[in-house]
């Protein structure tokens, strides 16, 4: 394939999740960028960004880990592409904090034992696709429009908040995911929970929190008539996909008890609307599918809620 646009090359910070529990995000990002002929070169020997646990209890450690990663990325050509919303947020926070704070910068430079080469622009793949590659070009490249697919775009927390850090989109009413979806021929639904928190890293320490918050998100998407949810963060994906069966079980038993209390026990096992499976897609999986990338190269086999029945129903497989 001939290059579509010369010089669109990025360094890439995948982050820990993309090498493990979110590996289909890594696979589909690479497949999509290859299909669009955008260069993507992984930063060698990157470290964990520290994520929420590090800044939760030790800001200096968090800033130092991110500054170290930015310095490693500085040696690789191209702006830094990041797929994980949490890594993206931590790297941008570090740039934001160290820009004007000489004291913190000095401490970080002592910690990493070298100058903080942190100036490289950090970009989330959403903005690379929608703004740098461009929606118009993307639309031209679509080979299989995602016709008839109703999608709830889920932003979660860190892609837009606090607005002066990610500088990605409006912090209360963003549209970048919906814009991308429309370019792929799919139909974004209007729904209430696209900016709500999924419970994030409480999945390890307090799963009950995740079950409560993620349940509200899944129910809202279902009420809005969505066939599926699209995310751009491996932590959101983990909570909505991996925990979905647990949520459904809890939901059914609670609904049955409630109905039983109202109508008597004979109704407990009949008549309740069963929660529907909602496949959770990464933005890169849907975009790659629309670009004609074969579905067996997008990691669909490693998710919990099987998206294939839905894709078959919509004749997208």
> In angstroms, what is the minimal distance from the CB of 50 to another protein?
7
| Window contacting another protein (CB under 8 A); options: 15-23, 146-154, 180-188, 290-298 | 15-23
Sign for the CA dihedral angle at 197, 126, 26, 184 comes to positive
- The window from 183-191, 202-210, 224-232, 282-290 that contacts another protein (CB under 8 A) reads 202-210
> Of 210, 169, 216, nearest to 191 (Cα)?
216
Of 162, 225, 271, 292, the one binding another protein (CB under 8 A) is: 162
Candidates 4-12, 41-49, 222-230, 290-298; binding stretch for another protein (CB under 8 A): 41-49
The reply to whether 99 sits near another protein by the rule CB under 8 A is no
47 binds another protein (CB under 8 A): yes
Among 9, 34, 53, 192, binds another protein (CB under 8 A): 53
Q: Which of 76, 78, 83 is nearest to 8 (CA)?
A: 78
Scored b (16 or more CB within 10 A) or e, 221-250 reads bbebebbbbbbbbbbbbbbbbbbbeebbeb
Q: Which residue is it, tokens 């290059």?
A: 3
By CB under 8 A, tell whether 17 contacts another protein. yes
273: left (phi over 0), alpha (psi -120 to 50) or beta: beta
Nearest CA to 113 out of 71, 76, 51, 50 is that of 71
CA distance 200 to 269: 33
Looking at the Cβ atoms of 205 and 315, the one nearer to another protein is 205
User: x-or-dash pattern for another protein, window 247-266, by CB under 8 A?
Assistant: --------------------
Which strands form 122-124's sheet, in the order they lie side by side? 39-42, 9-13, 79-82, 122-124
Considering the complex, what minimum distance in angstroms separates the CB of residue 225 from another protein? Answer: 24
* Contact call for residue 73 and another protein (CB under 8 A): no
Positions in the binding site for another protein (CB under 8 A): 16-17, 19-23, 45-48, 50-61, 64-65, 68, 101, 107, 110-113, 157-158, 161-163, 171-172, 196-197, 199-202, 204-207, 209, 213, 242, 301-304
């Amino acid at each position: 394939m001939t290059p579509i646009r010369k010089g669109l090359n990025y360094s890439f910070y995948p982050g820990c999740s993309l090498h493990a529990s979110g590996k289909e995000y890594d696979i589909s990002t690479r497949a999509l960028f290859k299909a669009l002929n955008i260069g993507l070169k992984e930063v060698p020997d990157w470290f964990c960004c520290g994520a929420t646990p590090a800044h939760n209890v030790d800001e200096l450690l968090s800033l130092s880990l991110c500054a170290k990663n930015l310095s490693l990325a500085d040696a690789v050509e191209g702006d830094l592409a990041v797929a994980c919303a949490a890594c993206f947020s931590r790297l941008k926070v570090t740039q934001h904090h160290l820009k004007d704070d000489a004291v913190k910068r000095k401490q970080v430079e002592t910690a990493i034992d070298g100058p903080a080469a942190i100036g490289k622009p950090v970009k989330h793949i959403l903005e690379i696709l929608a703004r740098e590659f461009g929606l118009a070009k993307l639309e031209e490249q679509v080979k299989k429009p995602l016709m008839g697919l109703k999608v709830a775009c889920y932003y979660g927390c860190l892609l837009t908040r606090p607005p002066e850090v990610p500088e990605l989109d409006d912090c209360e009413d963003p549209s970048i995911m919906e814009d991308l979806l429309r370019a792929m021929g799919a139909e974004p639904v209007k729904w209430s929970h696209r900016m709500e928190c999924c419970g994030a890293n409480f999945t390890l320490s307090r799963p009950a929190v995740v079950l409560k918050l993620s349940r509200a998100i899944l129910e809202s998407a279902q009420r809005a008539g969505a066939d599926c949810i699209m995310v751009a963060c491996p932590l959101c994906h983990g909570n909505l996909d991996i925990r979905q069966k647990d949520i459904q079980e809890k939901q059914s038993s609670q609904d049955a008890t409630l109905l039983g209390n109202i109508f008597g026990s004979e109704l407990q096992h009949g008549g309740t609307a069963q929660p529907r499976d909602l496949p959770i897609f990464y933005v890169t999986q849907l975009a790659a599918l629309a670009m004609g990338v074969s579905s067996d190269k997008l990691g669909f086999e490693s998710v919990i809620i099987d998206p294939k029945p839905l894709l078959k129903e919509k004749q997208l497989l």
